[in-house]
Structure formats: C-alpha cells, structure tokens
Structure 1
Amino acid sequence: MKKIIFCFLLLLVQVIFAQIVLTPFTADIPSSSFTSSLDAFGNEIVVSANYPLDISQRRFFVFEKNGNIISQETFFTPYDVAPYDSFGDNISINNDFIAASSRLNDQVASNAGAVYMYRKVDGDWMFFQKITAFDGVADDYFGSDVKVIGNQLFVSAINNEPIGQPTSTNSGAVYVYHFDGASWIYSQKITISGSYQFGIKMRVSDSKLVVASASSFGTAYLHTYHYNANTWNFSSSITPVNPINESISDFDLDNNQLFILPFNAMASSIYVYDDIANNWSLNTTITPLNYNEKMATNFKVKNDIMFVSLNFHALLYTSKTPVSVYRKINDNWTFQELIYGEGPFEQEDAFGTQIAITDDIVVIGAPTEQLPSAFSGRAYTFDVTLGINENTLNDLKAYPNPTSHLVHLTSNLAENISTIGIYQLDGKLMKTINYLQSPISFKEFQNGVYLLKVTMANGSYTCKRIVKI
C-alpha cells in the first residue's frame, strides 16, 4: 500500500497546469440558496434554488455552457407543487433526462415522496413523468437521493420498511427503474438486512452501484452491487478504516476505484480502493487534506482531477471556504491550488458544498454566497480540459532559500514569466511584482513561510515555498 503525503507547507508543483479561472453565473430571475443542489452532463447544468421570498417552495434551472457563455435554457416548478415538498433537494441529469426528487411529496401519503422526470425533445426540456413507489407509505422519503444513468433511474427511500418490520426501523431501500422507450418502468427494489437509512447517498459508475447506510453516529457502511443479467447483485460491504473513530463524510466512484472521505475530527484523508474480484482493496491514502484548520467535507473526482471542499471548522467561525484542487500525476494525487468564490472573505459562502464534474466542465456551488444579494447563492464553472502545458517551469530555481532579504529566480523560460505573487499560507496576496524586478525583496515581510507563485504569459504557473528568516 502506498501512502502519499501532501502538505501545503511543502508545496512544490513540478507539472504546470493552466490556471483555473472560474466563471460565475446565477439565474435570470431572483432566487435564494441557488446551487443548494446541482448536477451536470456534457455542457448542460441543472441547479436547484428556493423562491426568493418563500423558502417553502423550490424550482430548478437548466443552463447550457458554450465556451465562457452560460445561458439559461429554462426552469421548472412542479405542476402540482405544494409547500415544503422538498422539490429539487436532489437532482440528476444524464443524456436527455433530468430527475428531480420531492421526498416530502404527499401524493401517496404524507411525506411518502416522489420523483419528477423531465425530458429533452427536439432541443426543448419538458415535464415527462411523475414516479412514486409502488409500495410507498407515509414518511418513506422516496427521493432521499436520485441518480439517472443511461436508461436506468435509482431512487432511494431511507425510511422505507420491509414487510413485517416496525415502522420505526427506517431500514431504507433503493428502487431501480428502466426506460423502455416510452416511460420509466419499475424493475427492482434493493434492500439489505439490518440496515439503517439504506440509500442516504448513492453513486453509480461502470456497472457498479454503491449505496451508503447510516448508524447512530453518521454514515457508516457502503454496500456495493454489480450489474449482471439485468439485475443488481450484492457483492460486498465496507466500513471506514477506523470505524470506532470515523464515519463517512462522502464517497465517489471513478475508473473502477472507490474513494472514501471519512469524517475525523483530527485529520482528513481520502482512501482510494481498487476493485479486485468484486472486493475493494485499499490502494492509496491521500493525506492530509485540512487547510488552515478547515476540514474536508465532500469531494468529486473525475479521471485525473479532484476537487475537495473544506467546509468544516471545529470552532464554527464564519469565513468563505476554499476548495482544494488535486491532479493525478504519474499515478500520484498532487495538490495544485486553492480556489475561492468571489464573495467577501468574512462571509461564509458554503463554496464547494455542491460539485459536479463531467468530461467537459466543472461546476461548483456557493449556495449562501451573498452576491448579487443576501444569501442568493451562486454557481461557478470552468472547463475541465485544462491540460498540462508544454512550456513548464520545471527548471525554476529560487535562491537563497531560506533568505533574510533577497531571492533570485532563474529559468530557461524566464522571458515567458508574466507576474510573480507572494502569498501567505492562508491564501492572502501580499505583493505582486514584475519579473523584471528580480531579485525579489522579502525584507518587508515578517519571518515565516510564504508561497511564491510564478505565472507565465499563457496563464500557467508554478509555486515555490520560500522561508523568510
């Protein structure tokens, strides 16, 4: 087993990527808690939000991204909307379908739940079908999570009870539907013996379904199913590496690997498992993820890029939250940079609590950002195809280091350097200078550790750790 340790204090980026430039967007009409849920497929993005003056009602918006232009295509509110139905708490888009949950919908019974399906026909999105559980009862929460993948739809109901069980057990179930060309048809109900709130989260990828269930202290188990002969079959269950001290904050599936982020008050790590003969085998540990006493809460991974949201602080102080960006370089996950939303630094924006990645784009939500108005929320996006730049600064040297005053820079590509930024480790920019001012003076700064960010004319960059003594 490999253990890969990344420390922000020791950051030295050897492979240069184009710098991430976020493009913000929001709805064309007033909303609040914009990006409380989001998803993306191809270049289309779905985002749910509250009505600006009525938090009891929800709607979701559909956007299309072309280059740096994000256009709102349409938005939807259910035809039979009722207050506090939790419409759009979870949304999922794949190909020409959008699934929007409504876990407190009362059509079958009080809070039994429902899912609304929308379809794109001849370029236009429209309502297609409303789905309820065939055996739904009150407080099932059908729609606790929802995923549409290809011609299959997965809907969880975390309070559903097996026949004959007391209504207080909250065992949970996952309902599977398939699209037959005309409508979505029920095909399978998945449960597991002895579970609690089975289906609290789901991930689907590469003929694998991973379903989370809870315990008294949080998400505690992940159950894996493989698709064979038109049926999802159970293969294994997994718990956190340290089940006594940890629960599971988040998890993801990608390229036949399972990524698990446990919740641990002392440190955050992501465990990476390989699928070996339908069993998960621990391969790599990425640690630590914490930054400036903020802990990782959720993440998304796609191919060679990972975004980790740092949205928890034990002291619960208020400030904007960062997202850490990692790239997979030579089979090692390497920290690249911290990114932030555009809201005021002292205001909590929940930046990164919602993240979606496709082969083309990344979308990051900031549902409590107070731009353009109080708690309206905002979304940010950029192209995921930011590639490795051939004009790297691998030969960049900074000396002397440590230094008491001046730092000299040398590189064969020095003529392509545009700007140099000096940052504190909390991300605060202290000084921006032109490369022609080299050597760089650190005399005005207090003793400590700083990051020297060297940006090239094409937008790519590298960083050096500089110690001022």
Structure 2
Amino acid sequence: MKKSLLCFITALFISASLFADWDIGELLLAFDGAEHDEFGKSVSISGNYAVIGALCNDENGSNSGSAYIFYYDGTNWYQQAKLIASDGADLDIFGKSVSISGDYVVIGATGNDDNGSCSGSAYIFSRSDTLWTEQAKLTASDAATENNFGYSVSISGDYAVIGAIGNDENGTHAGAAYIFHRSGTIWSQQAKLLASDGIAHDIFGKSVAIFGDYAIIGAGSVDDNGFCYIFKRSGTSWYQQAKLVASDGASHDLFGYSVSIFDDYAVIGACGDDDNGSCSGSAYIFSKSDTIWTEQAKLTASDGTADNYFGYSVSIFDDYAAIGAYSDDDNGISSGSAYIFNRSDTTWYQQTKLLASDGAAFDKFGRSVSISGNVVIIGADGNSDNGISSGSAYVFQNDDLPSVIADFEANPLETKLIGNFPNPFNTTTTISFYLTAEDAEIVIYNIKGQKVKVLDCPDYIGNNEQAAESLSQYSVVWDGTDENYQPVSSGVYFYRLKVGNNLSGTKKMLLLK
C-alpha cells in the first residue's frame, strides 16, 4: 500500500511539473453587449492590446458588426475603444476576422457589398495614444460578388494578408489571398496569392497568417483532406515556397481550417480529424529549416472525444501553441475548452487544459484563440452574460514565462515564499513565507489555473517598524476548502504570494484524502 501511494504521489508531481501556472486574469465583455452579438467570434492579442470581434453587433444596422479594443494597464484589462466601419451597413459582419500588430488592427467585413453582394472588404485602424482611427478600407483589385474578401485576416508590421474564399480565378470558390503593404499612411495591394494547383471549392484563404516575410494560407476544403501553402516575400514579390499536407491526412479532416505562424514554426488545425472519434480534431506543427518545411508533431487533446473540434482555432508564439476545442463538453454541451502545448527541443507536449471559470453549455469557449508572450486570450462567442450568444473572452496569464507586457515580480529582498508543511497533506497545511511589514495574500489555484481561494495573511506580531526594515516570517493555514468553504477534491494545487499587485514565486502542494 505504501509503495502504491508513493508511486501515486510521484506520478502526480511529475504530471504537475508539466503544468505551468496559467492563471485566469479577467473575463472580458463588451460594455454594450447584447443578444446575438457573438463577441469573441474572433480575437487577437499583441503586447498590452487585444482586439475582439462582434460580427453581429447592430451599431450600423442589423449584423453590421463591430470590434473592441482592450488595453492592459499592468493590473486590469479595460475597454479602450469600440471600432465600427465608417460606412458600415446591414449584414456587413464587420468583425468576422480580426488581427492586431503593434499600433495597427485589421478587421474583416465579408458581407460588405462595395463590389457586389458579399464581395467583402477589410479595414485598417491605427492608434495614436489612446485613440483608434480608421486609416484605410481595403478591397481586392479584382473584387466580385460572393468573393467574401475579409473572411480571414492577419497583420504583421507593415504587411497584411486578407483571405477571399469565394474568388473564382482557379474555379468556383477556389479562393485567393491578397497581400497589402503600408507606406506611411497608405495601404496598397502588393500581391494576389493563388495555390499553384488550386481547383474549384478549395476555399483557399479559409485561414491566413503572416509573420515577417512569410505568409501561410489554409485551404480547408470540406471535400478533401485540406492543404496549406507557405508564401515568401522577395522584395515586392511573393512566391509559393511550400505546400503542406498532413502525413496521415484523410478526407474531411479539414486540415488548414485554422493556421498560425511564428518564426520558423507553423501550427495548422484539422478540426475534422477522427483520431479520437468523429471530428475530435487535431493540429499539426511544421518547422522550417532553410527552405524546407517538415511536419514535426501532431497534436491531439489528451482527453479528446468525438465532436470536440480540437483545432478549430490555433495560435503559436515562441515555444507555445494554443489550440481551441469549442465543442468540448467539460462544462456542459459545447461549453468548450482550449489547450496549451509547449515545445522542448523537437517534442511538443500538452502543458495544460484551459476552461472558463464560469463555463456553461453552448458557450463555445475556444471558438477563437490568440497567444502573445505569456498571455493567451480565448473567445467564447456563445456566452450569454449580456444575453443569448452575446459572447465573451477570457484572458489567461502565465507568470512563469517571460512577459511581453511587464515584469511584476516582487522584489526578492522584500518577499520570499518558503513552502508548506506537511506536503502532501490531509485536511490542513501551513504555508510559510518571509515579508517586510505589508499587506499580503496567498492565492491558491487548481491544476487548471483556476483560482480556488485567497488567504489573507495575518498581521505581523511584534514591532511593525522593525518588521518593515527586515524580512519577518509569517504563516497561514489552508484547510482544503474553496472560497465558499466547501472541501476541494484531492490533487495538485499551486499557491503564490501576492503583495499589492506583485506576485512572488510559485509552489505546488498535494492534497490527499
């Protein structure tokens, strides 16, 4: 029995070491959210800024659409602006797709009718201080009815790529993508991208992403396995460098339904893959060496089941990939989830599974995902906090990773988290730490990164003036209950010392009952 218990404890701690501390930061809602806005259908994050699409918002008419800018001030995320098209109209669905890079945002409006019904358009907004202003409206040079230009968008630096799944140059709905370049305040079409072997109904442009001199375009055709194409820029020209296919691709896998690219890595969603049941879904990592792109890994959810649609949304940044599975049922039917994968050398492993803290049936959490530095934002367009399908988004932050936002680590000379004893424990454990005289809290999380309880630290017993000048030891007891004083289940938990807005250290503990 002792041997079995030791093996169980060891296995839990090994498992826990794979889970970084992705903390739920904030639930984001539109200040004027309403029924069926579908806020969160599209999301994108860059540094301290995030943009969230609400394609069915009615600001400029029924389903004209809008998008919202949120800003992180080091403590909280708050809504900075609501973006609408200057010429928005009914059924434009502005916000179908969004992307942000630095001070620029691009927003797709596939229902725009400038060049015929659903010819589509995209809008560029730029930031000056706290003001966001429409800088340009983009349309295809050969725009036509039902092209759906703006179905997908991505921006990186001075370049933007726009997908047009209905373009007919290679056959009916074969699809195309367009590259736009900024010079000063002027955006001009630089290239039209087509698949070298494109045919009717490929829907090339279903997904697009751009990073530096590389663009990736997905052709997630329902009738075929699906394909992706890598294009590279040379001067003002773009040429196809590679065609990517899944090594085990099969009909209806929808490989290419979602794409993301960062540096020498690309992640491609195949939400129709059947490895764990019909439409359980998967995603593939490709890596580049010189001019060759090679499949490096196939990602699936550790708990994947039929109709989860894992891979419906994907995003990659540095050594981390976020994958959405909007139809996962952990919090109810189609409540949704997302997964974080981490790369170690050439191996990718599942680091954690993310769920909405208030998840409910049909929220569709994971419909959209975007990761930047140590922050990931996840859209839940079915959330009903502001009415049925009004939508929401959630921000998770991993304080164990280098931040592109800010460094909020507490001064090590002023705080030190010691640990807890006993560990493992049954019922109660004592958490100890050093601190100068100052208000502090111990924040406890479960293995999913969800906050379980906040423990207020006791006042220092003794001379506070002396305590303020040197580190003094404190301790606080956790009795294994949550904020509602309900017992929590056995398992691994994490805790952090919070002093003001600063966080110091992360420790793990094991509760056994």
- One fold, TM greater than 0.5? yes
Partner amino acid, structure 1, of 2:290 = A
Aligned ranges 1:194-233 → 2 under 5 Å: 194-195=198-199, 196-217=202-223, 220-233=226-239
Distance in 2 (alpha carbons) for counterparts of 1:39 and 1:140: 24
Render the CA deviation track for 1:158-181: whole Å, top value 9, x for unaligned.
Answer: 11122xx66xx2121111121122
Residue equivalent to 2:268: 260
RCO comparison, higher one (Cα < 8 Å, 6+): 1
Distance in 2 (alpha carbons) for counterparts of 1:148 and 1:119: 12
Residue equivalent to 1:320: 335
Q: Identify if the C-alpha distance between structure 1 residues 100 and 420 changes in structure 2 by more than 3 Å, giving closer, same or farther.
A: closer
Distance in 2 (alpha carbons) for counterparts of 1:219 and 1:211: 15
The answer to whether the 8 Å contact 2:80/2:130 transfers is: no
Distance in 2 (alpha carbons) for counterparts of 1:258 and 1:102: 26
Residue equivalent to 1:367: 381
The answer to whether the 8 Å contact 2:148/2:166 transfers is: yes
1:353 aligned to 336, 356, 367, which one?
367
Distance in 2 (alpha carbons) for counterparts of 1:19 and 1:146: 27
Partner amino acid, structure 2, of 1:28 = F
2:354 aligned to 332, 335, 339, which one?
339
1:251 aligned to 237, 251, 259, which one?
259
Residue equivalent to 1:275: 288
1:101 paired to 2:108: yes
The answer to whether the 8 Å contact 2:44/2:50 transfers is: yes
Shift of 1:324: 2.6
1:45 aligned to 19, 42, 50, which one?
50
The answer to whether the 8 Å contact 2:334/2:361 transfers is: yes
Distance in 2 (alpha carbons) for counterparts of 1:187 and 1:419: 51
The answer to whether the 8 Å contact 1:270/1:286 transfers is: yes
1:155 aligned to 130, 155, 162, which one?
162
Shift of 1:221: 0.2
Q: Identify if the C-alpha distance between structure 1 residues 408 and 204 changes in structure 2 by more than 3 Å, giving closer, same or farther.
A: same
**Secondary structure at 1:12 match in 2:** helix
1:234 aligned to 232, 240, 243, which one?
240
Q: Identify if the C-alpha distance between structure 1 residues 218 and 10 changes in structure 2 by more than 3 Å, giving closer, same or farther.
A: farther
Render the CA deviation track for 1:359-402: whole Å, top value 9, x for unaligned.
Answer: 364322222212244332222224455438998999999779xx
Residue equivalent to 1:185: 188
Give the TM-score normalised by the residue count of structure 2: 0.72
The answer to whether the 8 Å contact 1:259/1:271 transfers is: yes
Most deviating of 107-116 and 25-34: 25-34
The answer to whether the 8 Å contact 1:398/1:407 transfers is: no
Partner amino acid, structure 1, of 2:32 = I
Q: Identify if the C-alpha distance between structure 1 residues 33 and 227 changes in structure 2 by more than 3 Å, giving closer, same or farther.
A: same
The answer to whether the 8 Å contact 1:16/1:392 transfers is: no
Aligned ranges 1:62-77 → 2 under 5 Å: 62-77=69-84
Q: Identify if the C-alpha distance between structure 1 residues 289 and 247 changes in structure 2 by more than 3 Å, giving closer, same or farther.
A: farther
Render the CA deviation track for 1:237-260: whole Å, top value 9, x for unaligned.
Answer: 111221225332533222301223
Gaps of 5+ in 2: 1-10, 403-408, 435-440, 456-474, 481-488
The answer to whether the 8 Å contact 1:11/1:465 transfers is: no
**Secondary structure at 1:353 match in 2:** strand
Most deviating of 52-61 and 122-131: 52-61
Aligned ranges 1:84-95 → 2 under 5 Å: 84-95=91-102
Partner amino acid, structure 1, of 2:221 = S
Partner amino acid, structure 2, of 1:171 = A
Instruction: Count residues in correspondence.
Output: 438
Shift of 1:184: 0.9
Shift of 1:98: 1.9
Q: Identify if the C-alpha distance between structure 1 residues 199 and 259 changes in structure 2 by more than 3 Å, giving closer, same or farther.
A: same
Residue equivalent to 2:323: 308
Q: Identify if the C-alpha distance between structure 1 residues 22 and 150 changes in structure 2 by more than 3 Å, giving closer, same or farther.
A: same
1:453 aligned to 493, 502, 512, which one?
493
Most deviating of 241-250 and 287-296: 287-296
Partner amino acid, structure 2, of 1:366 = A
The answer to whether the 8 Å contact 2:116/2:144 transfers is: yes
Q: Identify if the C-alpha distance between structure 1 residues 428 and 284 changes in structure 2 by more than 3 Å, giving closer, same or farther.
A: same
Distance in 2 (alpha carbons) for counterparts of 1:154 and 1:33: 24
Q: Identify if the C-alpha distance between structure 1 residues 188 and 80 changes in structure 2 by more than 3 Å, giving closer, same or farther.
A: same
2:65 aligned to 41, 44, 58, which one?
58
Give the TM-score normalised by the residue count of structure 1: 0.78
Distance in 1 (alpha carbons) for counterparts of 2:95 and 2:233: 28
Residue equivalent to 2:5: none
The answer to whether the 8 Å contact 1:289/1:296 transfers is: no
Distance in 1 (alpha carbons) for counterparts of 2:387 and 2:164: 35
Partner amino acid, structure 1, of 2:242 = S
Q: Identify if the C-alpha distance between structure 1 residues 132 and 285 changes in structure 2 by more than 3 Å, giving closer, same or farther.
A: closer
Partner amino acid, structure 2, of 1:58 = G
Shift of 1:309: 2.3
Render the CA deviation track for 1:286-317: whole Å, top value 9, x for unaligned.
Answer: 45443577552333221233333232359996
Once the two structures are aligned, what percentage of the paired residues are identical?
17
